[in-house]
Amino acid sequence: MIFGYLKISTIVIKNTPLTFVLITRKCRHRAGTRYLTRGVDEAGNASNFNETEQVVIVGDSSGGLGGYDQSTIGGNRESETVQVLSYVQTRGSVPVYWAEVNNLSYTPKLQIRGVDTAVKAARTHFDEQIRLYGDNYMVNLVNQKGREERVKAAYEQIVKILVSAPAESKQASEKTSERFREIESTTREQKMDRLHYIYFDFHHECRGLRWDRALLLLDRLGSGLVEQKYFHSVNGGATSSVQCYQQSVVRTNCMDCLDRTNVIQSMLARYTLNRQMVDIGVLAPGENVEGYANFEFMFRNGTYHSNHE
């Protein structure tokens, strides 16, 4: 039993049957609706925190999840080689003390307590995130102006407090003075130095449904995504071997961890899936899954664009 979302689909790409699984596991702590559940608590639990895992199973003739235990599922499947590929992302509220006072207005008044008071809670939160996932690439998509700017500033302030000797850089665009802002530790002296903060001005860059502009973020993540890898195991008969493990995680947020977050997580999922399919030989270098209409239909209906906050 999970508190979250599950979808299993089967498709064929270039005569290769694939079982595509999307699992979102929602944290049982501080789950709630927008406006009512925000920020982090004293135990380090971020509101509406989700772990989303994309799994692709190749070579399982049952069209289900039998690849995990071939010996106990009906029929003689000793000759089958089943590959399991997995990629994990996370989402969650900005881990400082902030709230929106529900006063029946369309946009409740936003309140942020002093960032210094949230340092212990934020440290507890990221201590667990690093323990579970390794390096955290924290992609922040809130607006840099208006009411959301205070949340952005608080997030950046807490990161600069947590990491050692923080170095800060930004890149302007023709639209705003800040397309990207990055905060990185210049050392690796302590655990919190495995945090990598990246702000992306989603509001301006993707205005007018220009979702393709989100690809700018892929370029910015660069080597971090390459080194992140993904999980890959090969199961044949009674044997199983792990080819590689995922080394880090991208943690994405907007104000509600919904629409903007969905776009970015979907983009990262496509990027990784293309990489996986090329690596195992389903697709040739230069090909991508977007070129297959059956995949596009499956991916656009009921995957990352579902509301699984």
Q: What is the pLDDT of residues 130-148, one digit of tens each?
A: 999 999 999 999 999 999 9
**Three-state secondary structure along 252-281?**
EECCCCCHHHHHHHHHHHHHHHHHHHHHCC
Question: What pLDDT does 35 receive?
Answer: 75
Structure tokens at 294: 């059956």
Structure tokens at 283: 């697709």
Task: Decide if pLDDT at 121 tops 80.
Answer: yes
Q: Could you tell me the CA-to-CA distances from 250 to 32, 113, 136, 197, 271 in Å, in that order? A: 22, 26, 6, 10, 13
283's CB contacts (< 8 A; 6+ apart) are: 13, 14, 274, 277, 289
How many CA atoms does the CB half-sphere of 195 hold within 13 Å? 29
User: Mean of the per-residue pLDDT values for the chain?
Assistant: 89
**What predicted TM-score, i.e. pTM, was given to this entire model?**
0.90
Question: What pLDDT does 201 receive?
Answer: 96
Question: What pLDDT does 75 receive?
Answer: 46
Q: Which DSSP state fits 78? A: T
2's CB contacts (< 8 A; 6+ apart) are: 23, 25, 26
Q: What is the pLDDT of residues 84-106, one digit of tens each?
A: 999 999 999 999 999 887 776 67
β-strand partners of 234? 83, 241
Task: Decide if pLDDT at 243 tops 80.
Answer: yes
